Every structure is written in structure tokens, then in C-alpha cells.
Amino acid sequence: MKNRTLAELSLLCALAMILSYLESLVPIPIPVPGIKLGLANLAVVFAVYRLGIRQAAAVSLVRVVTIALLFGSVLSLAYSLSGAALSLLSMALLKAAKRFSPWAVSVAGGVAHNIGQLLAAAVLLETRLFLYYLPVLMLSGVVCGAAIGILAAVLIRRVRRPE
Amino acid sequence: MKKIMKNDILLVGILLLISAVGFLLRHVLGEEGKTAVVRLNGEIAARYSLETEGTFPLNGGSNVLVIRDGCAFMESADCPDRICVRQGRISRTGEVITCLPNRLTVTVEGASEEVDMISGGGGG
């Protein structure tokens, strides 16, 4: 691994962690468990395009594990891991299809993250949760993923590699 | 955002459509429920008939469920986000109140053979 890649990866990991923390400070007005802005997805989407899927997966994994250790529980780790895995998978597929912009990849990532979390909760707590929360979590995934996607698309275009 | 492509709009449209169909199904399939089923870690901890009225401490008192006028709602909880309290009243089958931090769910179900209150692990 090149030094620069390592530095970029570390920076993005730190950024994802900070964004996760910032997000935990913002109260969400809608009383549905699992709804989040997904700010950290900004760092992950950026990593997907700037460094590649595997590197983005590393950023995501580091963020999920460290944030769960700092603020979460074993259960929240399970939700987050499941969400992050499904999110990365869908972003990898859409990016590989080469027919979608980073914005759409971010939307898909947001929706998939929510579905992944919901799947874990349905398995661990109660199956009925899935159908009940799926519509609202898909909607919030689209809305938040779209907002993050606009930012991510701008960053991917504007942030240049230093030479 | 001129970089958005036709495929992007199609993808987002499909996602929104699935979500809308889900909302509709949830609305159509729900009917007035009979029982509030409390689960802790996925295991049934207690069942309460929605025809009863009362205040029920769950999970050793961490959450307090109230049943009144055929509706169930979480009156208080010791979790930090208190999302379960803000979720409000449920009365239709399939509706759920979830308290993720306390690993607790309350679902409304139809008539069952055990409509009467059964004291499970809930009565702290």
C-alpha cells in the first residue's frame, strides 16, 4: 500500500468517525428507530470513488466498529455491521454497472443501509418489524441518501489529488 | 446537478414506489387489533388484551406500557432516546412500538387463544 493511500484511508476513517459522532448530537424529529442522516456515508461514498470499493469497505468497517465500541453496544454493532455490509454491496453493484451517477449510488447506499439494519433487528427482535418499518425507512434512506449524494458528488468533482 | 442520469431518476423512482406501496399495504392490511404482545429479546414476555385498561411495567420497570381506549402506548422509558414513547398510540394489527436500547417490542395482533392477561416476565 502506498503511503499516500494509507494517509488518505486514515483521514477518511477519522472523518467518518467524526461525522458519526456529530450525527449522534443531532436529534431527529421523526420517532422511528434507526432513522439517521447517514453523514458518515459521505466519507464512504467519497472513498468508493476516490480509492475503490475495498478501501471504502475498510473505512466503513473501522467507523462501525470504533463507533460501536465508543458509544454503542453489541446489539448496535450487529445492526450497523449488517447495514454497512448491505450498503457497500449495493454501492459496489451500482458502481460496477457504470450506469449510475455517484448521487444515485449514495441514494442506494442509504436505502440499503436502512434495510440492512432493519433486517438485523427483524432477525434479533421480531420479524414483524421488517414490514412495518420498511416503507418509512426506505423513504428516509432515499431522502437522506439524496442529500448526502449531492454533497458527495460535489466533493468527488472538486477535491483534487494533491500532486 | 447536471450529472444526474436517466437511470438515476428511474432507480430513485422505483425505490419511492416500493416505499409507497409498503405504506399502502400497511394501511390496507391493518385492522383493529385485539392483543398487545410484548417481546423482550425476541421472546414473548407478556400479552395484554387491548380491551383491558391499565398501566403495565415491562422489563423490570424500564418501560411502562399503558392500555387505554383500545390503544397501547409507552408512557415512559429509561432509554436515552425515548423513541418508543414518542411513537405514540398503536391499535391496528401489525403496528409496532420498538425500544431498541431495551430490546423490547410491543406489537398489536389479532384475536388469539390467550386474550387474557398472562403474567410473563413483564410484571416487574
Q: How far is CA B18 from CA A111, A122, A123, in A?
A: 12, 19, 22
Q: Least CB-CB distance to B22: which of A76, A102, A138?
A: A138
Helix or strand (DSSP H, E) at B76:
strand B71-77
Q: Is the same domain home to B81 and B99? A: yes
d(C-alpha A153, C-alpha B10), whole Å: 18
Question: Domain range spanning residue B84?
Answer: 35-109
Q: Compute the count of residue pairs across chains A and B with CB atoms less than 8 Å apart.
A: 105
Alpha-carbon torsion (B100, B103, B108, B109), positive or negative: positive
Q: Domain spans of chain A?
A: 3-158
Q: Is the same domain home to B21 and B41? A: no
Give a yes or no: residue B123 inside a domain.
no
d(C-alpha B37, C-alpha A150), whole Å: 42
Query: Does residue A109 contact residue A151 with C-beta atoms inside 8 Å?
Result: no
| Chain B, nearest residue to A138 by Cα | B19
d(C-alpha A28, C-alpha A25), whole Å: 9
Question: What pLDDT digit, counting tens, does each position of A93-118 carry?
Answer: 999 999 999 999 999 999 999 999 99
Does A139 lie at the interface with B, CB-CB under 8 angstroms? Answer: yes
Q: Is the same domain home to B73 and B88? A: yes
Give a yes or no: residue B51 inside a domain.
yes
Q: Least CB-CB distance to B3: which of A101, A132, A146?
A: A101
Q: Is the same domain home to B26 and B59? A: no
Contacts of B84 in chain A (CB under 8 A): 33
Q: What is the ipTM of this complex?
A: 0.89
Which of the 8 DSSP states describes residue B80?
A: S
Query: Does residue A90 contact residue A108 with C-beta atoms inside 8 Å?
Result: yes
Q: CB distance A107–B11 less than 8 Å?
A: yes
Q: Is the same domain home to B55 and B1? A: no
- The terminus-to-terminus CA distance of chain B in angstroms comes to 56
Q: Is the same domain home to B72 and B14? A: no
Q: CB distance B22–A146 less than 8 Å?
A: no
Fold of A3-158: Arp2/3 complex 21 kDa subunit ARPC3 (1.10.1760)
| Chain A, nearest residue to B27 by Cα | A132
Give a yes or no: residue B116 inside a domain.
no
Query: Does residue A33 contact residue A143 with C-beta atoms inside 8 Å?
Result: no
Q: Least CB-CB distance to A126: which of B8, B15, B39?
A: B39
Q: Is the same domain home to B62 and B25? A: no
Question: What pLDDT digit, counting tens, does each position of A10-65 carry?
Answer: 999 999 999 999 998 888 888 899 898 999 999 999 999 999 999 999 999 999 99
Give a yes or no: residue B124 inside a domain.
no
Q: Is the same domain home to B26 and B39? A: no
Question: What pLDDT digit, counting tens, does each position of B49-99 carry?
Answer: 999 999 999 999 999 999 999 999 999 999 888 899 999 999 999 999 999
Q: Is the same domain home to B26 and B41? A: no
